[in-house]
A and B are shown apart, each in its own frame.
Chain A
Amino acid sequence: MEWQALWLSLRLSFWTTLILLAIGLPAAHWLTFSPRRWKFLVEAVVALPLVLPPTVLGFYILLAIGPHSPAGRLYAALTGGMLPFSFQGLLVASVLYSLPFAVQPFTSGFAAVDRKLIEASWCLGVSRAATFFRVIAPLSIPSIVTGMILSFAHTLGEFGVVLMVGGNLAGITRTVSISIFDDVQALNYGAALHTSLLLLGISFLVLAATYGLRRRVWAVWPPYGQ
């Protein structure tokens, strides 16, 4: 049993989800409400991690954050450290890898908000930004929660990208899925089975809790007649 790997995976998922919330909400807002014709190009870029093999994505991220890349040099100048094979590098990769899992539910949630409600808010003198926090976001809470849960669960289970960008450093980049892979490679089936079962249990609990909570807490809109 790799408690250290599990703890690392949970930390990674937590921070990835938090960062995706901060990046994903404005990105989804732009994608939903921007009148730009070329926004479909951005949509396609955001969705790329869905179809690219994790190795391809991981390889590009490795190149992009490497010590010779502009991003890598900037990071080195700011912190003195390196992004590849570090927790921070893993975080960057995870955020990119899970981007569509956050942005797409957010976008569909925002798009489902009745445009007339948004316009009513504008006409009442409320700015676009304030309208987002007072009307769009509250009415999209189920979609926002779904996006967060998907990001969390997806990061928890990622493998290929982590291996490419983070390698396999205990306590730094060895996530739970990599430790399972290690165990299987070492024919240590018992440990692999335990860890896998734990991951399955956690994933199921997270999803079940979300769907269960959504039923009760977000029941601001029960069907008519209740």
Chain B
Amino acid sequence: MDCGGGFGPYGPRMANDLSVDIRKRHAGGPEIAAALRLPLDTHAVTVLFGPSGAGKTTVLRLIAGLDSPDGGSIRCGDEVWYDGARRINWPPQKRRVGYLSQDYAIFPHLTVRANVSYGARGGPVQDWLVRFELGELADRYPRQLSGGQLQRVGLARALAADPRLLLLDEPLSALDAPTRLRMRADLRQLLAGVQAPAIVVTHDRTEALALGDSIAIMIDGKLRQAGAVESVFDCPADADVAAAVGVETICPARVLSRSAGLVTVEIAGAPLVAVDTAGASADVYACIRAESVTIERHPPGERNPPGNATSARNRLPARILSVIPEGPLARVTLDCGFRLTAIVTRQSEREMHLREGEQVTAVVKATSIRIVPRGLD
């Protein structure tokens, strides 16, 4: 786990970028406050990730000009799209943003060809139809198309209008499960071939990993962490981000000692060794992903293995609380004094006869425990 890099708007400051720093209060919702910056001359995909209701869609709508912020600014290259202080607010027509809403909003009274050519600027529409494999569907109406085909129409229509920027709101959520898997790969390929950067909203971790080059985590209306996808997923900056990216075990812990870059923390009486990443805090959270917890089983009577046959620093006696099958895997909840979740294959589960109430040993490498400061927010 390489946890370099940090928090905040990423990338060096440059003129040719999209720079967003806006506030918006919705009746009944959290106050949205988002600051992000992304370069325009690459076609990188930024994933806007967070739980439902975090305000991700609102941020897209504010960038597209479909809603007005309460204050702040939005700048795209040398164009000022919005500036609260200077009372500048460009309409969506002028911003040239390719915005694809969750259900694609294909015009039902127009054929596929008419949809794609609706806002087309320059370049023959036929090229877009061919590129998105819509040639044979060109004269069909939207109601005759499948979800995946509708998505291609939406993307082709947006791109034919030559957008500066592509905004996709949960592009895969309207599809059924098998189509979603197929389109995830297709979408990645399509986005890679597009001459505009894209912001993709999702709350699905697999989608974020599959589609994103970088990621911004949004929780309760605030952008909390941004960076490369793997680094944010592996190294959440705080417990909220860890929970948002799906870290299964997040426990408050107390620092017992620090030495040589390692930290020993205590969770409910159990000591754990981890790589120290929490600065000088005494109160921290320990975040442990289920896939980095290994379960060992010893013959009855033999409490400790002879010598130390593993490099893992942390070996905790544990009792199995539950075993829940999840497809080819099984989710095992352990009681080590605190609650720890592990993921094992169904095969291991069967071979090891993992059952509720049995005693096992939970093994966690020091490098697999992410320590984040507590009480910052």
List residues of A (3-26) whose CB comes within 8 Å of B's CBs. Answer: none
Residues of B within 8 A of A122 (CB): 65-66, 91-93
Residue of B nearest to A221 (CB): B108
B119 lies within 8 A of chain A by Cβ: yes
Q: Whole-angstrom distance from the CB of A207 to the nearest CB of chain B?
A: 25
A36: interface (CB < 8 Å): no
Report whether B64 and A123 are in contact in the complex, using a CB–CB cutoff of 8 Å: yes
Nearest-neighbor residue (CB-CB) of A134 within chain B: B118
Quick one: which of B65, B109, B119, B143 contacts A126, CB cutoff 8 A? B119
A139–B141 Cα distance when bound, in Å, is 14
How many chain A residues touch B (CB < 8 A): the figure is: 19
CA distance A174 to B349 in the complex (A): 93
Task: Tell me whether A221 and B157 are in contact (CB under 8 A).
Answer: no
Nearest chain A CB to B60 CB, angstrom units = 11
Of B32-40, B98-106, B178-186, B350-358, the stretch lying at the interface with chain A is: B98-106
Decide yes or no whether B158 CB sits under 8 A from chain A.
yes
Q: In the complex, what residues of A have CB within 8 A of residue B119's CB?
A: 121, 123-126
Q: Which residue of B lies closest to A138 (CB)?
A: B109
In the complex with contacts A220-B141, A221-B143, A119-B96 CB distance below 8 A: no
B161 at the A interface (CB under 8 A): yes
Query: Which A residues lie within 8 Å of B103 (CB)?
Result: 116
Given A139-B109, A221-B108, are A123 and B97 also a contact pair (CB < 8 Å)?
yes
Is residue A213 within 8 Å, beta carbon to beta carbon, of the partner chain? no
Residues of chain B lying within 8 A (CB to CB) of residue A63: none
B143 adjacent to A117 (CB under 8 Å) = no
Chain B residues contacting A224 (CB-CB under 8 Å) are 143
List, in ascending order, chain B residues with CB within 8 A of A119's CB. 64, 66, 92, 99, 101, 105
Which residue on A lies nearest to B114, using beta carbons?
A134
Residues of B within 8 A of A124 (CB): 118-119, 157-158, 161
Q: How far is the CA of A123 from the CA of B108 in the complex (A)?
A: 17
- Name B141's closest neighbour in chain A (CB-CB): A220
Please report the C-alpha to C-alpha distance between residue A53 and residue B3 in the assembled complex, in whole angstroms. Answer: 78
State whether the Cβ of B10 lies closer than 8 Å to any Cβ in chain A.
no
A120 contacts the other chain (Cβ, under 8 Å)? yes
A21 → chain B, closest Cβ, in Å? 20
Contacts known (A123-B98, A126-B93, A224-B143); A135 close to B107, Cβ less than 8 A: yes
Q: Which residues of B contact A134 (CB under 8 A)?
A: 118
- CB closest residue in chain B, given A126: B119
Say if the beta carbon of B140 comes within 8 Å of chain A.
Answer: no
* B362 CB to nearest A CB, Å: 49
Cα–Cα distance between A65 and B194 once the two chains are bound (Å): 63
In angstroms, how far is the closest chain A Cβ from the Cβ of B343? Answer: 39
B231 CB to closest chain A CB (Å) equals 32
Contact present for A127 and B93 (CB under 8 Å): yes
State which residues 126-153 of A face B: CB under 8 Å: 126-127, 134-135, 138-139
Interface membership of chain B positions 73-104, coded 1 if the CB is closer than 8 angstroms to chain A and 0 otherwise: 00000000000000000011101111101010
* Given A124-B158, A126-B93, A117:B107 Cβ within 8 A: yes
Tell which of A117, A125, A126 touches B105, judged by Cβ atoms closer than 8 Å. A117
| Smallest CB separation, A38 vs chain B (Å) | 19
B121 at the interface (CB under 8 A from A): yes
The proximity string for A residues 68-106 relative to B, scoring 1 for CB distances below 8 Å and 0 otherwise, is 000000000000000000000000000000000000000
Q: Are A123 and B99 in contact (CB under 8 A)?
A: yes
Other-chain contact of A125, B101, B141, B161 (Cβ < 8 Å): B161
Among A119, A125, A138, the most chain B Cβ lie within 10 Å of the Cβ of: A125
Smallest CB–CB gap between A205 and chain B, Å?
A: 29
Query: In the complex, what residues of B have CB within 8 A of residue A125's CB?
Result: 93, 96, 119, 121, 161
CB distance from A144 to the nearest CB of B (A): 13
Contact A120 B105 (CB under 8 A): yes
In Å, the complex CA distance between A50 and B182 comes to 56
> What 1/0 flags go to B147-166 for Cβ under 8 Å of A?
00000000001100100000
How would residues 118 to 136 of chain B score, 1 for a CB under 8 Å from any chain A CB and 0 otherwise? 1101000000000000000
Q: Chain A contacts of B93 at CB under 8 A?
A: 122-123, 125-127
Pair A139/B101 contact, Cβ less than 8 Å: no
Distance, CA A126 to CA B91, complexed state (A): 11
Considering the chains assembled together, what is the distance between the CA atoms of A123 and B96 in angstroms?
A: 7
- Check if B66 sits within 8 Å of A220, measured CB to CB: no
> How far is A139 from B158 in the complex, measured between Cα atoms in Å?
21
A120 engages B109 (CB within 8 Å):
no
When distances are taken between beta carbons in the complex, the residues of chain A under 8 Å from B161 are: 124-125
Known A114-B105, A134-B118; further 10 A-B contacts with Cβ < 8 A: A116-B105, A120-B105, A122-B92, A123-B97, A123-B98, A126-B119, A127-B93, A135-B107, A139-B109, A220-B109
Considering the complex of A and B, which 4 residue pairs feature the smallest CB-CB distances, nearest first?
Answer: A124-B119, A116-B105, A120-B105, A122-B92
**Which residues of B are in contact with A by a Cβ distance under 8 Å?**
64-66, 91-93, 95-99, 101, 103, 105, 107-109, 118-119, 121, 141, 143, 157-158, 161
* Contacts A/B (CB < 8 Å), 14 sampled: A119-B92, A119-B105, A121-B118, A122-B91, A123-B92, A123-B99, A123-B158, A124-B157, A125-B96, A126-B93, A126-B118, A138-B109, A221-B108, A221-B143
